[in-house]
Amino acid sequence: MRLLFIRYFVEARRRRRDSVISIGVDPVAFTIGSFSLRWYGVMVLLAIAFLVWWSTRSAKAAGYNKDFVLEGALWAIPLGFIGAKLVHVVDNMSHYLDYPFDMLNPAGLAIFGAILGSMLGIWAYCQWKHIPFAAFADPAAPGIILAQAIGRVGCTINGCCYGRPSSLPWAVTWTHPNTYAPLGIAVQPTQIYELLWDLLVFAILWWLLRGRLKQPGALFAAYLALYSLGSFLIRFLRGDVSSFVGTMNEGQFISLLMFMVATGFLVRQFWALRRPVWRD
């Protein structure tokens, strides 16, 4: 992994003549026969492993054993992949109508589908075990956003989720033919924007985790609100998505809905906390 990052930063060198960052890393990590694994897939697997590790530590601190997390992961991971694929299919319906068998391809995932699917899996598991959802979700929230940051490293190498054409000094071009980005065209580095936003959200959640948000579910709601806000804004710069209604794409509608629900939950929690209790 260390060699990967060294190679990434060496090849992501700045071209003096056009002031554009060039990324020439081969997105395919290795190929065995007809099977190819891209670095994006490696990063997704690494992100999942990291999140399970983080959640195990968090559960132990909350008084639960590691089996609680491992069993929950068996619910969350499959539903997360199903949700990620389902949202991606809906978002790219015209492609999948022409190539329906591509629905079986594990490539092509949508982050919001992964979040919603995983949430559903954990919620169902907690209901089955009669455990409050917040007991699992709150301490895991900082780990979730860090796992997403790891995934965005994979997006950057892969060339997916790229931005609109740009002449900014920090615009990025992808030069390897296996990339998903348009070859040789300088675009907004939206993957890097989101990676940096994820790290900022982690710092905020880590600060809030130190006892500043004590209401059950508040920390997880803060994660949803902060992430969806950043995603909503960054998606205005995306060049790989089509408009759903007006100038907004499907991901922005999901972001907006998630932000409103999470913010509404936080307002309700704080209102209930500050509301005076009248006694006869």
Q: What is the identity of the amino acid at 7?
A: R
Distance CA 100, CA 135 (A): 40
Q: Each residue of 27-45: pLDDT tens digit?
A: 999 888 888 889 999 999 9
31: enclosing H helix or E strand: strand 28-32
Q: Is the dihedral of CA 68, 74, 77, 79 positive or negative?
A: negative
Distance CA 249, CA 226 (A): 19
Q: Residue 23: is its pLDDT beyond 70?
A: yes
Q: What is the identity of the amino acid at 4?
A: L
Residue with the larger pLDDT of the pair 42 and 269: 42
Helix axes 133-158, 190-209, angle to 10 degrees: 160
| Residue length of the chain | 280
Query: Pairing relation of β-strands 13-15 and 35-38?
Result: unpaired
Which phi and psi (to 5°) does residue 235 adopt? -65, -15
The residue written with tokens 């026969």 in the block is 33
Say what the pLDDT of residue 164 is: 94
Q: What angle do CA 222, 80, 87 make, to 5 degrees?
A: 90
Q: Each residue of 59-92: pLDDT tens digit?
A: 877 777 778 888 888 999 999 999 988 888 877 7
Q: What is the identity of the amino acid at 71?
A: E
Most confident of 55-59, 168-172, 197-201: 197-201
Cβ partners under 8 Å of residue 72, min gap 6: 55, 121, 122, 125, 126, 136
3-state helix, strand, coil in the chain (%, to 5): 65, 10, 25
Mean pLDDT computed over every residue of the chain: 84
Q: What is the identity of the amino acid at 94?
A: S
Say what the pLDDT of residue 247 is: 74
